[in-house]
Amino acid sequence: MKIQDVLMNDIEDVIKNFTPITGTRKQKSDTVKKLQEELQKHIFGSFQNCETEKYIFHDTKKYDDIHDRADVYAKKDDYEIIIEIDTTRADQISKKFVSRACYNLLPKKNGEKKKLIYVALLYQGTQSMNVDECIKYFMYCETILKQLSKDSIFIGAIIQNNNQSVVFYTSAASRNTIIEDLEIDAYTDYLRDECKFKEGSIDQYLRTLSKVHDCLVSDPKLTIRECINKLLNENKSNKDITSHLRKYNTWKFHNM
């Protein structure tokens, strides 16, 4: 199993047995600290020969006086793993990502680029916080990280308070990632607000999206991208379906 799949399984295992992050700001802060500890412990137990540290350390003197604390940090093989836990705010995602990517993608002493697995793990904040914008920024961060280091991996994740499950947003998973209602809502907003599609057209696009979901269910070994390619090959003569699939593919993976 690939390192990113093990990591996502670890996150799911911890979250489903963990106390929901709710209450006052102080209560949420205390719960997040406990979650950090549980994730660090779980990851250390899953990966053999895994190093864990409290701080992100740097190879160049330029940043020696800056010690930003990562919520969860580990090294495994050639990868540095960072998990940042925040509320569902796009500005928090981008601020943390820029900082950590800058420090951890500085070249090694031999000139090679480092490999980073970055997880933005979000929990539900106030009702006014825009979850759809967070999903959009997941795609932005993934695109940027791939340009900085082609072997690095970005994983966006949102904890669902209703059942303590986790919805992942990444193109890096080799495991099957089922399309969730939250993503369908975000895709609907994209079609309506950015593409300016009318409701009838949106319904047609969502019916095509259900074909991707059915493909994932019927063959759990396939990724979303593999299902899209499979359906494109099977529906070459149907311009509507192929157009709908390409639109979803562009939105999901941001032309990557």
Cite the DSSP H helix spans in the chain: 3-16, 25-46, 90-104, 131-148, 181-189, 199-218, 224-234, 239-253
Going by their DSSP bridges, the two strands 79-87 and 72-76 should be labelled as antiparallel
Distance in angstroms (rounded) separating the CA atoms of residues 169 and 183: 9
Phi, psi dihedrals of residue 17, rounded to the nearest 5° = -110, 15
Q: What is the number of other CB atoms lying within 10 angstroms of the CB of residue 9? A: 14
Instruction: Kindly state the DSSP code that residue 61 receives in the 8-state scheme.
Output: G
Give the pLDDT confidence score for residue 53 in this predicted structure: 52
Partners of residue 160 on adjacent β-strands: 165
What the block records as the tokens of 99 is: 């900082």
Whether the model clears a pTM of 0.75, i.e. scores above it, the answer is no
Tens place of pLDDT per residue across the chain (256 aa): 678 888 888 898 899 888 888 888 889 889 999 999 899 888 877 775 555 554 443 333 344 555 567 888 888 878 888 999 999 999 999 999 998 887 777 666 666 777 889 999 999 877 778 888 888 888 888 888 888 888 889 999 988 876 678 888 887 655 555 566 667 777 888 888 888 888 888 888 888 888 887 787 677 667 777 888 899 999 988 888 888 888 888 887 653 3
Token pair for 207: 């019916």
One-letter identity of residue 253: F
Identify the residue whose tokens are 């993934």: 142
Q: How many CB atoms lie within 10 A of CB 144?
A: 16
User: What pLDDT score does 223 carry?
Assistant: 75
Question: What pLDDT was estimated at residue 140?
Answer: 87
What are the tokens at 50? 């895994």
Q: How many CB atoms lie within 10 A of CB 27?
A: 12
Task: Let me know: does 38 contact 18? Beta carbons within 8 Å.
Answer: yes
